[in-house]
A and B are shown apart, each in its own frame.
Chain A
C-alpha cells in the first residue's frame, strides 16, 4: 500500500513537471532569442549530464577505469564517424561485450 501511494504521488508530481514548460512557455508568444538559444542546448546539456553521471561515476565514487570507458570511447568515435544513433548503439554493445569477454 505504501508503495502504491508513493508511486501515485510521484506520478502526479512528475506529470506536473513534464507539463510545466509546455504550459508556461507554450502558446503563440514569441520567446526572446536568448531563451530560444538556451532551450536549444537542453538536449546536449542534459544528455551529457546523464552520460557523465552514469559512465564516469558509480554513485558518488569514480568508476574504476575499464570496459565502460573503453566501450564508450569506441561508441563516441563511431558516433562522430557515422553520425547514426543505431550504429552507435550497436558499436557500443559489440565493443562492451567483447571487452567483457576479454576479461576487462
Chain B
C-alpha cells in the first residue's frame, strides 16, 4: 500500500485499473446501451412525458424494456397500478441474476452489495458472472464489477438524455431494435461450451416461443426458469474431457488450473 500517495479521488491506482478492466469487459455493449437509451428518450418525448421525469426513470428504474412498457401503458391510458405491475413482471428476471450473483457478492461489504445491486443490468450481471472466477480477491472483484456496471448505467442514462433532447432522430428504417438480440447473442454465444448450458439455451428458446401469447413478457421469465431447471438436470462432463475436446485456448482454463 505504498501507492497511497498516488490516489486520485481517494481511489488507488489498483482500484482504477480494476474498474477499467470492468469497463473494457462491457465496452462492446455500450454503444447498444446508448442506442437503446436514445430510443427510450425519443419515446418519452413523443409521449409528452416531462423531460426530467424521463431522465429520472432511467437512473432509478435502470431497466429499459420495462421503462418502454410503462410509457406505452401510460400512453394507452392504462391504470398506474397496471403500468407498475407490468414493469415488475418484466423485471422479475433480474431476481435470477441477483441469485446467481449472491455467491459472487458474498464477501463484499454491505454498502457495496446494496450499491452494486442497483446498477445491475442484464449485460453487466452476465459479464460479471462470466468474469467472477478470474477475480478471486473480493476487493479487486468488487472494483471490476463496479467497472462493468456503473459506467454502463451511465451511458444508458446519457443515451436517454440525448434521446429526450433530440427526439426521434434515428429513422425507423434503420430498425435499431436489432441491437437487442445482437447484444445478447454477443454475451451468450462466445461463452457457450458445456452441455448443461446448451440444454438450458434450447429449452429456454422453446418455452419463449411456445409461450409467445403470454402477457407482460411472461414467456421470457418462463423460458429462463425452464432453461435453468432443464440444464441443471444435465450431468456436466468431467473437466478433463472438456479440455481434451476443446484444444483451442480457453480464457478461463489457466485460472482454473492455477486454482486447483
Contacts and interface: CB of A to CB of B under 8 A. Distances in A.
Q: Do A and B bind each other?
A: yes
A72 B130 CA distance: 22
Interface in B55-74: 56-57, 60-63, 66-67, 70-71, 74
Contacts of A42: 96-97, 99-100, 129, 224, 228
A6 B184 contact: no
Nearest to A26: B102
Nearest to B57: A7
B204 interface: yes
A7 B70 contact: yes
Contact of A50 (B192, B200, B220): B220
Contact of B61 (A11, A56, A61): A11
4 closest residue pairs by CB, A with B = A21-B99, A21-B98, A45-B227, A79-B189
Nearest to A84: B190
B208 A52 contact: yes
A98 interface: no
Nearest to B181: A55
B84 to A, nearest CB: 5
A5 B185 contact: no
A59 to B, nearest CB: 8
A37 B181 contact: no
11 contacts: A4-B53, A19-B98, A28-B106, A38-B229, A41-B227, A41-B232, A47-B201, A56-B208, A67-B175, A75-B185, A88-B189
Interface in A44-95: 44-57, 60-62, 67-68, 71-72, 75-76, 79-80, 82-86, 88-90, 92-93
B103 interface: yes
Nearest to A47: B188
Contacts of A86: 27-28, 186
B126 interface: yes
Contacts of A38: 228-229, 231-232
Interface of A: 2-11, 13-15, 17-28, 31, 34, 36-57, 60-62, 67-68, 71-72, 75-76, 79-80, 82-86, 88-90, 92-93, 96, 100
B177 A54 contact: yes
Interface stretch (B7-15, B113-121, B135-143, B161-169): B113-121
A47 B220 CA distance: 10
A37 to B, nearest CB: 5
A92 B179 CA distance: 9
B101 A50 contact: no
Contact of A100 (B175, B207, B251): B175
B91 to A, nearest CB: 5
A13 B208 CA distance: 24
Contacts of A26: 102-103, 105-106, 113
